Structure 1
Amino acid sequence: MTLAAADQLTAEGSALFQQHEYAAAMARFERAVAIYPSHHQAWKGLGHCLLCLARPQDAARAFDKAIGLRPDSATALWGGALAHADLGHRIVAQNYLKRVLALQPTWVELALSVPALASFLQLSAKAGDLLRVALGAYSARTYRHATDASRAIDVARFADEPEHGLVTYASLGLSNVEWPDGRPRLEVLLATAQDSAAAPWIVANAVFHVMDSGFYPAPGTMVRDLVAVINAGELSRRLPHAYFTVPKRWGLRLPLDEGPPAITLTMVVPVSEAEYQYWKAHGDQALEARFAGATMEPADLKRASVV
């Protein structure tokens, strides 16, 4: 009797939803789950109503419940992906979307048409997965371009990487940039012993510079004033430039993915004006040798110049 009543309420809710009567439909679905809490269709319908009523947090809870009851429900997973993406829960949203597309591969075009989901299908999403496997769980924050707020890049933070007491920041998005000569796609790493607000901005600014200039940050290259322009006080004055090198310290096998397209990593190291001039006069191998001879700690953003 209880299930039959919940079925009836769910049917009424579905009909109201089709008529765009979202509040009335929500009330039916809420009554259905109240009298029969394991009714996955009612939870799913409730989630869709809450999404349409701009209540993503409540919608996410409803979809999570529906997915828990029916893990292979593509429509519940789709709604859950939308709700969690709206809340900024990237890992959950991406996981749900992957499960949707495993069940319904033809929905990929639909996902690409939804901005909140399309980003999970870009190459940067794959890079994020590869970095998670290589370095562990991470948190991420979005950084916006200084002169164009519509442009943004995500930067991931990995605690105690590449070793205890250090923090690694990694870009998530540069790998979406395609290079005309087929060179590997890239993400940028920075290791720091000082977990300051400046560190992720160095990574973000490196990405924006690459995107704006078309410069490919191959190992041994340098960018002037990349740290200076973020206005990080004494750090920007002491180590104003950025040197790119192979990220050996993490012990990763590169490229992270053979592709095509291949995805690899480059490490950014803030350097002084004297170090920049030494690199310019003697080349990258001489600068690397100078770093090694001075036992320079590239993760120490408080370090003195080795030249």
Structure 2
Amino acid sequence: MDRTQQANRAVAAWAAEVIGGQPTARGCRGEKAGQQVSIARFTDRPQKGVTTYATLGLSDTRVPRQVEPPLGTEILGVCDSVATDFPQILGVIAYRAQIDGRSCEPDEIFDNVVPPGLSATLRHAILIPQFLWDDDAFAVRVIDYKTVVWLLAVPITDAERQYAFDRGPDELQTVFEEVQIDIFDPQRPSAV
């Protein structure tokens, strides 16, 4: 096993320790032929009827920051367990980071990443600090040759995307907290 595989297994073990349950991993195709990333699936986590997904290995793509060892991001996503297309969101974000050089940082919005069959209302995703598990559980951690941080991908509507651009991502997150959106529901209405 090479160094990259060992480091990514350590990332997977970290996710499994925090999220709990028995994960299954599978490849997820990107937007272009031949693209694939590993995504772990944790059924009934953080609660029954909800599935958590986690990228594995995206943290090998560097985030442009002056951090040693270099900073990389892994992405979490949560959704009602019946929404089996949800991992495609994480796959598309991962490939845009790897291939197009998009940065996976807090408040970054990725346009048109929600598969058409998954939601009638949600089209895009915003990356935010995860809040579903203890803050320290997914705190920044050095794993061998990389510094790893976890972010949560939350699908958003066209109106929420525009609100974030007009008023800022922090204001959108404040609205989410006030309205108490159900981030598990792929058919949720817009909060704005």
Task: State the TM-score, normalized to the length of structure 1.
Answer: 0.56
Q: 2:159 aligns with which of 274, 281, 284?
A: 274
RMSD (Å), alpha carbons: 2.0
Alignment of 1:139 with 2:48, yes or no, is no
Answer 1 or 2: higher relative contact order, Cα 8 Å, separation at least 6.
Answer: 2
**Partner of residue 126, structure 2:** 243
How far has the Cα of 1:252 moved from its partner?
4.3
How far has the Cα of 1:184 moved from its partner?
2.5
Aligned-partner Cα distance in 2 for 1:238–1:299:
13
User: Which structure dedicates a bigger proportion of its chain to helix?
Assistant: 1
How far has the Cα of 1:163 moved from its partner?
2.4
How far has the Cα of 1:180 moved from its partner?
4.5
Aligned-partner Cα distance in 1 for 2:58–2:92:
11
CA 1:217–1:178: 2 relative to 1, 3 Å: closer
Query: Structure 1: which 5+ runs fail to align?
Result: 1-110, 113-117
**Partner of residue 202, structure 1:** 89
Aligned-partner Cα distance in 2 for 1:195–1:170:
17
How far has the Cα of 1:119 moved from its partner?
5.7
Alignment of 1:166 with 2:53, yes or no, is no
Larger Rg: 1
Query: Which amino acid is 2:19 matched to?
Result: L
User: Which structure dedicates a bigger proportion of its chain to strand?
Assistant: 2
Aligned-partner Cα distance in 1 for 2:19–2:124:
27
**Partner of residue 141, structure 2:** 257
Contact 2:39 2:54 in 1 (8 A): yes
Identity %: 23
How far has the Cα of 1:127 moved from its partner?
0.8
**Partner of residue 296, structure 1:** 181
CA 1:234–1:128: 2 relative to 1, 3 Å: closer
**Partner of residue 286, structure 1:** 171
CA 1:238–1:120: 2 relative to 1, 3 Å: same
Query: Structure 2: which 5+ runs fail to align?
Result: none
Aligned residues: 186
Aligned-partner Cα distance in 1 for 2:41–2:54:
7
Aligned-partner Cα distance in 1 for 2:4–2:23:
18
**Partner of residue 8, structure 2:** 124
Task: State the TM-score, normalized to the length of structure 2.
Answer: 0.87
CA offsets 1:160-194 (integer angstroms, 9 cap, x no match): 21223321011112012233433631111001124
Aligned-partner Cα distance in 2 for 1:175–1:240:
24
Query: Matches of residues 104-123 of structure 1 in structure 2 within 5 Å?
Result: 111-112=1-2, 120-121=5-6, 123=7
Contact 1:194 1:301 in 2 (8 A): no
